[in-house]
Chain A
């Protein structure tokens, strides 16, 4: 049988073409981009194994496993909380490597690992009006006093489960939020975000890698 090489494409590939949408304003209120080329692994501690899992995560990723709704950055990996005794590891995709490579042994008998890399899209939202826009979509209180940099949440947007966490602020001082969505809902949520952003003026910037800052 002939081998076939699948080419990975994002369901957002047509939606994320760089351009401006909505109100014609001097400075766009919303900056929107897709983050590509990541690996995503869900780590679920087994019964009575939370401490052992946290220890393994610390050794493997060099980051503290989040025991509550936080996103913690290691050298190349972000660990963000997703539920009781479970969290995601998000790190740059390594070509020709499988996301679970090297992880099975350190987490053996401590945690269950589930590769979700192809099951999610990561949308990054920033801009001076980002909080006003997200207030239309999310019931979370995103005020800086209760949702600072590094805060994370498992919540719903437009009736779909998402993981949302706050990244380090953008160069202009605007907060940056990462929204991880199911691939099958990505296009729908992207357009919901776009519609909610239109009144503030939106700049869609080109898709970028995890460790890359969005730029037009």
Chain B
């Protein structure tokens, strides 16, 4: 399997590290409130941290080009065939002015 890094070009997969599913979004709540928060908040956080789908087919994933340009990438890959249909830089890569947007912020 090869991944076409948007910065480096096509590279062998040994240069990349797999993080996993790019879909889970951090629940929009203040971390300190989790313990005594509203019903369901702790469960939502538990899901975010631990629960993953076991997809057989197309999946959005984060990969890290650690053996190359050290950028995080977001790609769409078919877990059954390894076909990659899209690769893009993760939000906030390099000096791009929009920092990574996550649903929750700790204030």
A173 interface hit (Cβ, 8 Å) = no
B14 pairs with A155, CB closer than 8 A: no
Q: Which residue in B11, B70, B97 is a CB contact (below 8 Å) of A83?
A: B70
B11 pairs with A139, CB closer than 8 A: yes
Contacts of A69 in B (CB 8 A): 7-9
A154 pairs with B96, CB closer than 8 A: no
Q: How large is the interface on A (under 10, 10 to 19, 20 to 34, 35 or more residues)?
A: 20 to 34
- Closest Cβ of chain A: how far from B10's Cβ, in Å? 9
- Closest Cβ of chain A: how far from B73's Cβ, in Å? 11
B12 pairs with A47, CB closer than 8 A: no
A94 to B71, CA, bound (A): 33
- Closest Cβ of chain B: how far from A53's Cβ, in Å? 7
A153 to B69, CA, bound (A): 8
Mark interface residues in B7-42 (1 if CB within 8 Å of A CB, else 0).
Answer: 111011011000000000000000000000000000
A44 to B96, CA, bound (A): 12
Which residues of A (133-187) have their CB < 8 Å from a CB of B?
139, 153-156, 159, 161
- Closest Cβ of chain B: how far from A21's Cβ, in Å? 28
- Closest Cβ of chain A: how far from B35's Cβ, in Å? 34
Mark interface residues in A46-69 (1 if CB within 8 Å of B CB, else 0).
Answer: 111110010000000000000011
Contacts of A46 in B (CB 8 A): 95
Contacts of A72 in B (CB 8 A): none
Give the nearest-CB partner of A139 in chain B.
B12
Given A46-B95, A50-B95, is A84 in contact with B71 using a C-beta cutoff of 8 Å? yes
- Closest Cβ of chain A: how far from B91's Cβ, in Å? 12
- Closest Cβ of chain B: how far from A29's Cβ, in Å? 25
Given A84-B69, A84-B71, A84-B89, is A155 in contact with B95 using a C-beta cutoff of 8 Å? no
A82 to B12, CA, bound (A): 18
B57 interface hit (Cβ, 8 Å) = no
A28 interface hit (Cβ, 8 Å) = no
A154 pairs with B70, CB closer than 8 A: yes
B97 pairs with A47, CB closer than 8 A: yes
A84 pairs with B94, CB closer than 8 A: yes
Pairs A–B under 8 Å by Cβ, sample size 16: A47-B95, A48-B96, A49-B95, A69-B7, A69-B8, A84-B89, A84-B95, A84-B96, A85-B94, A86-B94, A139-B15, A154-B68, A155-B68, A156-B15, A161-B67, A161-B68
Question: Which residues on A are within 8 Å of B, measured CB to CB?
Answer: 44-50, 53, 68-69, 82-86, 139, 153-156, 159, 161
- Closest 8 CB pairs between A and B? A84-B94, A85-B94, A48-B97, A156-B67, A85-B95, A45-B95, A83-B69, A139-B12
